[in-house]
């Protein structure tokens, strides 16, 4: 059997915006450091994603010297602000069924996003001490999660994407699926069955397969919605009306991971 190697690490500092590929990352309980600690909320406090606003795909993100820069690819307008903030105006925010406390550090940031996107929204931050619990059915030690949909980490094998692309007329990039970890080696979809495993010296646990939604049909380059790859996945990855691709994961401790780390199954 070929070695399993961590080939890509991704963080998504603002929920539903473009990701940043990194060479190494700090594993925190809520997820990778800087991963989905920011999001946009509407006037009711509810989270905003590409599901309703696919043009969010057209904003690129970069982190330099603890500053996060967001650039609108369509007009080259950009905004830079600290990647982490300790305080601000408190807001009750909603991510799916979870009501959490977030902070709005500066209304000027919110106004910039509102102007760029063409609708009223607020940019809020989720401080590390604030609580959001992982679904109790899938916890080991009362794990927390950031602003990700439900779990701190998502892992997908390159073989799984290769299998999907072999069935598509036009292949898609791994970006469509917004993983934190991508690995090479192994069989297509073998991550479905992973439970306890290690990346380098860090220990993780696979908790459930990831059900996919229409966000995967948004082209990250153009912001346009289509039917694929969800249509094709529905033909062979559908169970009880849900379409699965990738495995949701929790960490069993904090550590550092690096591109090229070996993955071992316990």
Strand bridging mode 31-32 / 122-125: unpaired
pLDDT digits (tens, 9 = 90+) for 95-122: 999 999 999 999 999 999 999 999 999 9
pLDDT mean across residues, the chain: 96
pLDDT band at 200 (very low <50, low <70, confident <90, very high): very high
pLDDT digits (tens, 9 = 90+) for 37-53: 999 999 999 999 999 99
User: Torsion angle of alpha carbons 54, 123, 77, 61, nearest 10°?
Assistant: -70
Residue 65 confidence (pLDDT) = 97
- Report d(CA 37, CA 63) in Å as an integer: 13
pLDDT digits (tens, 9 = 90+) for 162-192: 999 999 999 999 999 999 999 999 999 999 9
Residue 1 has pLDDT above 80, yes or no: no
Residue 137 confidence (pLDDT) = 85
Residue 212 has pLDDT above 90, yes or no: yes
pLDDT band at 147 (very low <50, low <70, confident <90, very high): very high
Compute the chain's Rg from CA coordinates.
18
Instruction: Please give the sequence-ordered ranges of beta strands (E in DSSP) within 73-164, or none if there are none.
Output: 78-82, 89-95, 98-104, 122-125, 153-157
pTM listed for this prediction: 0.97
Residue 225 confidence (pLDDT) = 95
Mean pLDDT confidence for 237-249: 97
Residue 249, both tokens: 């994961």
Domains and CATH numbers, the chain: 4-265 (2.40.33.20)
Residue 116 confidence (pLDDT) = 98
């Amino acid at each position: 059997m070929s070695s399993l190697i961590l080939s890509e690490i991704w963080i998504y500092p603002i929920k539903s915006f473009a990701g940043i590929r990194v060479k190494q990352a700090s594993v925190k309980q809520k997820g990778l450091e800087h991963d989905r600690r920011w999001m946009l909320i509407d006037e009711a406090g509810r989270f905003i994603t590409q599901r309703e606003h696919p043009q969010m795909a057209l904003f690129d993100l970069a982190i330099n010297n603890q500053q996060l820069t967001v650039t609108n690819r369509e007009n080259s307008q950009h905004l830079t602000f600290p990647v982490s903030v300790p305080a601000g105006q408190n807001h009750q925010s909603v991510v799916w069924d979870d009501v959490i406390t977030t902070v709005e550090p500066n209304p000027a940031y919110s106004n910039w996003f509102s102007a760029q996107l063409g609708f009223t929204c607020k940019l809020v931050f989720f401080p590390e001490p604030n609580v959001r619990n992982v679904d109790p059915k899938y916890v080991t030690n009362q794990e927390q999660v950031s602003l990700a949909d439900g779990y701190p980490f998502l892992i997908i094998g390159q073989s799984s994407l290769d299998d999907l692309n072999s069935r598509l007329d036009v292949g898609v990039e791994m970006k469509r699926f917004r993983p934190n970890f991508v690995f090479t080696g192994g069989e297509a979809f073998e991550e479905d069955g992973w439970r306890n495993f290690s990346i380098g010296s860090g220990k993780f646990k696979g908790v459930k397969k990831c059900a996919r939604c229409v966000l995967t049909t948004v082209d990250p380059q153009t912001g346009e919605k289509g039917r694929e790859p969800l249509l094709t996945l529905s033909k062979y990855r559908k169970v009880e009306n849900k379409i699965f691709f990738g495995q949701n994961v929790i960490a069993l401790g904090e550590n550092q991971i690096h591109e090229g780390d070996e993955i071992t199954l316990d």
